[in-house]
Amino acid sequence: MSVSVLASPSRYVQGKNAIAELGTHLEGLGSTPLLVADDIVWGLVESALTQGFTAAKLPVIRVGFGRFATPAAVDALVEKIRTGKHDVIVGLGGGSAIDAAKAAGHLAGVRWASVPTAASSDAPTSALSVIYTEEGEFIEYRFFPRNPDLVLIDTQLVAGAPARFLVGGIGDALATWIEARATRRGTGSAMAGGRPTRAGTALAELSWNILWENALPALDAVRAKVVTPALEAVVEANTLLSGLGFESGGLAAAHAIHNGLTAAPQTHGLTHGEKVNIGSVTQLVLEGAPTAEIEDFIVFTTKVGLPNSLTEIGLSADDRKELRAVAEAATVEGETIHNLPFPVSADQVVDALIAIEGISRRVRAEHGLPEPVKYVAGH
């Protein structure tokens, strides 16, 4: 593949109380926006958003949303767009609402905007959506010819969200550099099409560096429900830098293993970033990364609150059937794991998944960190 591609949203807006300015930034995109948000998210944003829309002379028309971006949910939004004659769709809240809005906007031929209320993933900036079943199992990636026209994130909303959401975003973003550097070393393509750009790879590394410096104080800020420079830095790393980094730098094993894990019922209820972090540790083992790097990653992610053992995602080394299913799904033809600069088999993935349990327990014991706690789905 001889071309490289950099993809990005048309505009990115971040800051404290930025939700009040959403109407101003939407004015140039359309006159009849359709807002997609669940009841909880709407309760958080309705007042400030409505004031901004009134000032911009935009109507406030909102439709609810369920839990996952399913094919049916996307099709229902397309119908809403067409019957309501909307010219822009806005996904507010978590990654699934945003993904559903992007997919519906593409199918309906209108513009779309992403407004995450937590820095829980790097999905908002991308030109793709992840589609799931009603039970939350991965179905497919849907790719679009362009990125969102607007991404807006209010850091005060991030500060007010549960800390676990930010933890998940950190897990998603940490994988970006691990995967981008592997893709760069190999011959695979980035999600934007073509080989990774140097810019995409550099942004992935910048995201990584910011997180190692700021993740822990940013989590302190969220627990205190305040906005600090550390939180602003992490929100940008999780959302913008990781978003551009994964799309134009490339995905590899971490996200492929995440996709496989969605099929294991024991992992249901875990956030996207929590499952991705298991993929990151597993990728480091698969690569034969330096021992110090693996150990540092386990120490750091344990302090952040991310799982790095099978126990913490409800599995064990004895769950061979489930581990085999995860590995088979992660290594199907076309999965991003094949961006690694060497061939990977399902057997290798099973072995690496089993290995991370012992590595995690040993490293934690050596550094005086707590043992892994068993995760039970639904709790």
Q: Which residues are catalytic, by number?
A: 172, 255, 258, 272
Please, are residues 321 and 246 in contact by the beta-carbon 8 Å criterion?
Answer: no
- The identity of residue 233, as a single letter, is A
Measuring CA to CA, how many Å separate 128 from each of 47, 57, 179, 220? 30, 31, 18, 32
Residue burial 166-175, b: 16+ Cβ < 10 Å; e: rest: bbbbbbbbbb
Residue burial 233-267, b: 16+ Cβ < 10 Å; e: rest: bbbbbbbbbbbbbbbbbbbbbbbbbbbbbbbbebb
d(C-alpha 1, C-alpha 280), whole Å: 26
> Which residue do the tokens 């990115």 mark?
12
Which residue stretches of the chain are H helix?
A: 22-26, 39-55, 71-84, 95-108, 155-160, 163-185, 198-224, 229-236, 242-249, 253-261, 272-287, 291-304, 320-330, 346-366
Strands 138-143 and 128-132: antiparallel
Three-state SS for 193?
Answer: coil
Three-state SS for 127?
Answer: coil
Please, are residues 92 and 37 in contact by the beta-carbon 8 Å criterion?
Answer: yes
